[in-house]
Amino acid sequence: MVDENATIQRTVAAVLARSVRAGARLITQAESGDAGIRPVLQTLYRYGGHARVVGITGPPGAGKSTLVDQLVAHYRAMGQRIAVLAVDPSSPFSGGAVLGDRLRMGRHDTDPDVFIRSMATRGVLGGLSKAVGDALTVLDAMGWDVVIVETVGVGQSEMDIVRHASCIVLLQTAMGGDAVQIAKAGVLEVGDIFVVNKAEAEGSGRMVNALNEMIGNRANHGEPGKWQHPVLKTEATTGKGTVELAQQIERRFVFLSDHPQVARAQQVTQLRARASEIARDRVDTRIRRLTDGDAGHAQLLADVLARRQDPYSFAEALLRDGGS
């Protein structure tokens, strides 16, 4: 027990001292669903709350990684320390893309004030979004000024991931379908900032107009206490529009600090989702153990299978015994 505590203290101290090795190792353990890091995460959480967490999502190939690379350069020029968590199977960060992409990303490789890490999208025990939450706890405690989470925006689980961020950037292109399709996909509600990348492409202007109309910018123009969703154009390959995007991201964080009630509501929503993910993971683990023949519940399991008992009683017993 003493040894265990010493190990926990050592890991916590290393992360707080901004050891990239210790941080990266914890993120790997989070990915593998290692419950042993829980006490470390519990302590680290108390030191967090300072990083500006930005989520960037959009369809594959929209230019997210290219834009993130530009943002990293921008923040570095401003003297900010920045971490990137790429949850994207095709991300150049994870080595899944063509060589050209990897070389382009390489420009930050030797900068100690940049931390780039990809997360596996498959086989993450306890759910990907929970692992991302754990990773963010680590990165926040490490004292990065800005943390960007890049994820491919296609399904519900990606939306869960991006909701860990306080500023959500939704990336589109004129080629990625029309605005009506995007609205139908239900992603409009989650975005704080909308970006039409590959701005040089035909139809980008129309896309901007359609997005503006859809999010009702005209209707609630200038309403006090309400976030005005900006729609921007970028050309990630040349960096055009990056500064404007960074300014809007900053405006979002200023807005949140100027509107503590909005910020608090967002934090409560995030906490609810986070606690639910953690609880679900623990319950799932326990269910797996029990149904795999835990001695204490063997009889109950046999009774349910023989229909002398039912899944409701089984779940009841599970919750009564707690999820450890």
Ligand X SMILES: Nc1nc2c(ncn2[C@@H]2O[C@H](COP(=O)(O)OP(=O)(O)O)[C@@H](O)[C@H]2O)c(=O)[nH]1
Closest among 45, 132, 48 to 88, alpha carbons compared: 132
What is the smallest separation between the CB atom of 253 and ligand X, expressed in angstroms?
A: 23
Binding to ligand X by CB under 6 A, coded x per residue (else -) over 40-59, reads ------------------x-
Token representation of residue 284: 């799932």
Judged by CB under 5 A, does residue 31 bind Mg ion? no
Q: Collapsing DSSP states into helix, strand and coil, what is residue 251?
A: helix
* Closer by beta carbon to ligand X, 66 or else 166: 66
H or E segment to which residue 286 belongs: helix 260-291
Applying CB under 5 A, the span of 82-90, 169-177, 204-212, 314-322 interacting with Mg ion comes to: 82-90
Token representation of residue 255: 């807005």
Q: Among 63, 126, 127, 176, indicate the residue that binds ligand X (CB under 6 A).
A: 63
Cβ atoms of residues 89 and 96 within 8 Å = yes
Q: Among 52, 64, 198, 274, indicate the residue that binds Mg ion (CB under 5 A).
A: 64
- Partnered with residue 59 across adjacent β-strands are none
Q: Read off the DSSP letter of residue 235.
A: B
Judged by CB under 5 A, does residue 65 bind Mg ion? yes
Judged by CB under 5 A, does residue 69 bind Mg ion? no
What percent of the residues of the chain are helix, what percent strand, and what percent coil, each to the nearest 5? 55, 15, 30
Say how many residues touch Mg ion, by CB under 5 A. Answer: 4
Based on the number of CB atoms within 10 Å of its own CB, is 104 exposed (0-12), middle (13-18) or buried (19 or more)? Answer: middle
Judged by CB under 6 A, does residue 65 bind ligand X? yes
Judged by CB under 6 A, does residue 205 bind ligand X? no
H or E segment to which residue 136 belongs: helix 128-141
Cβ atoms of residues 157 and 244 within 8 Å = no
Applying CB under 6 A, the span of 17-25, 63-71, 110-118, 176-184 interacting with ligand X comes to: 63-71
Binding to ligand X by CB under 6 A, coded x per residue (else -) over 86-115, reads ----x------x---x--------------
Judged by CB under 5 A, does residue 286 bind Mg ion? no
* Closer by beta carbon to ligand X, 246 or else 278: 246
Q: Read off the DSSP letter of residue 124.
A: -
Q: Where are the alpha helices (DSSP H) in the chain?
A: 2-16, 20-31, 38-45, 64-77, 99-105, 128-141, 156-162, 179-184, 204-214, 242-258, 260-291, 298-305, 311-321
Based on the number of CB atoms within 10 Å of its own CB, is 48 exposed (0-12), middle (13-18) or buried (19 or more)? Answer: middle
Applying CB under 5 A, the span of 65-73, 162-170, 171-179, 199-207 interacting with Mg ion comes to: 65-73
Applying CB under 6 A, the span of 106-114, 130-138, 182-190, 235-243 interacting with ligand X comes to: 235-243
Q: Distance between CA 12 and CA 304 in Å, rounded?
A: 44
Among ligand X, Mg ion, none, what does residue 94 contact (CB within 5–8 Å per kind)?
none
Judged by CB under 6 A, does residue 161 bind ligand X? no
Q: Collapsing DSSP states into helix, strand and coil, what is residue 168?
A: strand
Q: Among 43, 129, 197, 204, indicate the residue that binds ligand X (CB under 6 A).
A: 197
Judged by CB under 6 A, does residue 60 bind ligand X? yes
Say how many residues touch ligand X, by CB under 6 A. Answer: 16
Binding-site ranges for ligand X (CB under 6 A): 58, 60-66, 90, 97, 101, 197-198, 235-237
Binding-site ranges for Mg ion (CB under 5 A): 64-65, 88, 91
